[in-house]
């Protein structure tokens, strides 16, 4: 019935006959996911660093909460954001439902706990090594956090990539809050779901191959960036 040759040929065909609709879908996927990951890092990196570097009351609870939230099902996040943004909900007045902004919000909620929890672990390990030095220099809390985040930056790139992987692959949340509207909120994963439901399985899988290729490109780009930064640092 299906052969991988057929699917690869279909994927190749998609790339060769690249049209505007496909560009639109790929670009929107990247725009939504990269924006969500960027916002998640803005919130999750400092949050994770603070939890990782300092002892305070309730720290254990925060850690458990962050770790648990890493397992949030996308559909639940989608439903929550839908109820918030629905015209019957508290934020309906903003008119954001079925827009890319709604999709960014949903993915940010999904990815922030991942970034924060992983950052916390990275920073906590590093802090173990730095704690005495910090104490002897009498550094302020803010300098400590900045120094830890900076020195852990290469590990934190992987943290950001983990967030990217989660966001770019999820379909449950963006389907509910975006509505998979053609030319407006249709991204790669919702297109794959749609083509599957139309019974166009080869096309759906070919799009999956394309999505994987996109993830490879983003990851390779980040790794190249990291490698050249390391070279510059030790040159």
Partner 1 sequence: MFRRFLLSLALGATLALGTGAALAQDAFIVVQSTTSTQNSGLFDHILPMFEDKTGIDVRVVAVGTGQAIKNAANGDGDVLFVHAKPAEEKFVAEGHGVTRFDVMYNDFVIVGPPDDPAGVAGTRDVVAALTKIAGTQAPFASRGDDSGTNKAELRLWKGAGIDVQAASGGWYRETGSGMGATLNTGTAMGAYIMTDRATWIAFGNKGNYGIVVEGDPKMFNQYGIILVNPEKHPSVKAGAGQAFIDWVLSDEGQAAIAGYEVDGQQLFFPNAGG
Which residues contact partner 1 by CB under 8 A? Answer: 39, 42-43, 46, 86-89, 92, 94-99, 101, 142, 179-182, 184, 194, 196-201
Q: Which is nearer to partner 1, 56 or 234 (CB)?
A: 56
Q: In terms of CB distance, is 68 or 94 closer to partner 1?
A: 94
* 98/77 Cα distance (integer angstroms): 15
- Choice between 102 and 188, CB closer to partner 1: 102
Q: CA dihedral defined by 165, 221, 105, 163, rounded to 10 degrees?
A: 30
User: Quick one: 63 or 99, whose CB is closer to partner 1?
Assistant: 99
CB of 204 to partner 1, least distance (A): 10
Q: Which DSSP category does 123 fall into?
A: H
- 38 versus 209: smaller Cβ distance to partner 1: 38
Query: Rounded to the nearest whole angstrom, what is the least distance from the CB of residue 84 to partner 1 in the complex?
Result: 12
To partner 1, the closest distance from the beta carbon of 70 in angstroms equals: 22
Tally: H helices and E strands in the chain: 10, 0
Contact by Cβ (8 Å): 79, 176: yes
Query: What Rg do the C-alpha atoms of the chain give, in angstroms?
Result: 21
**What does the DSSP 8-state code read for residue 170?**
-
The minimum distance between CB 220 and partner 1, in angstroms, equals 29
User: What tokens does 72 get?
Assistant: 């949030």
CA distance 197 to 200: 7
Decide if 25 contacts 187 (C-beta within 8 A).
yes
Tokens for 81, please give them. Answer: 């954001």
Nearest distance in Å: CB 69, partner 1: 19
CA distances from 38 to 21, 33, 45, 159, 160 (A): 26, 9, 10, 12, 8
User: Residue 109's closest CA among 30, 173, 34?
Assistant: 173
- Minimal distance, residue 112 CB to partner 1, in Å: 12
Pick the closer one to partner 1 by CB: 88 or 233.
Answer: 88
Whether residue 28 contacts residue 186, with contact meaning beta carbons closer than 8 Å, is answered with yes
Closest distance to partner 1 from the beta carbon of 104 (Å) = 8
Nearer to partner 1, 86 or 121 (CB): 86
């Amino acid at each position: 019935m299906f052969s991988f040759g057929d699917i690869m040929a279909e994927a190749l065909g998609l790339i060769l006959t690249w049209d505007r609709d496909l560009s639109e879908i790929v670009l929107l996927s990247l725009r939504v996911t990269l924006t969500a990951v960027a916002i998640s890092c803005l919130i999750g990196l400092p949050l994770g660093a603070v939890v990782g570097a300092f002892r305070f009351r309730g720290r254990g609870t925060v850690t458990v909460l962050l770790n648990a939230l890493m397992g949030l099902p996308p559909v639940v996040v989608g439903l929550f954001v839908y109820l918030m943004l629905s015209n019957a909900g508290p934020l309906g007045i903003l008119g954001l439902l079925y827009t890319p902004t709604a999709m960014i919000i949903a993915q940010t909620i999904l990815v922030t706990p991942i970034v924060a929890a992983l950052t916390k672990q990275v920073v906590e390990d590093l802090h173990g090594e730095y704690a005495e030095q910090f104490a002897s220099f009498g550094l302020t809390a803010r300098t400590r956090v900045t120094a830890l985040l900076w020195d852990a930056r290469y590990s934190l790139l992987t943290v950001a990539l983990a967030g990217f992987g989660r966001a770019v692959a999820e379909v449950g949340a963006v389907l509910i809050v975006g509505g998979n509207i053609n030319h407006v909120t249709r991204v790669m994963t919702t297109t794959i779901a749609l083509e599957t439901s139309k019974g166009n399985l080869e096309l759906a899988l070919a799009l999956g191959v394309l999505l994987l290729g996109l993830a490879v490109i983003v990851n390779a780009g980040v790794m190249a960036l990291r490698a050249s930064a390391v070279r510059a640092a030790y040159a």
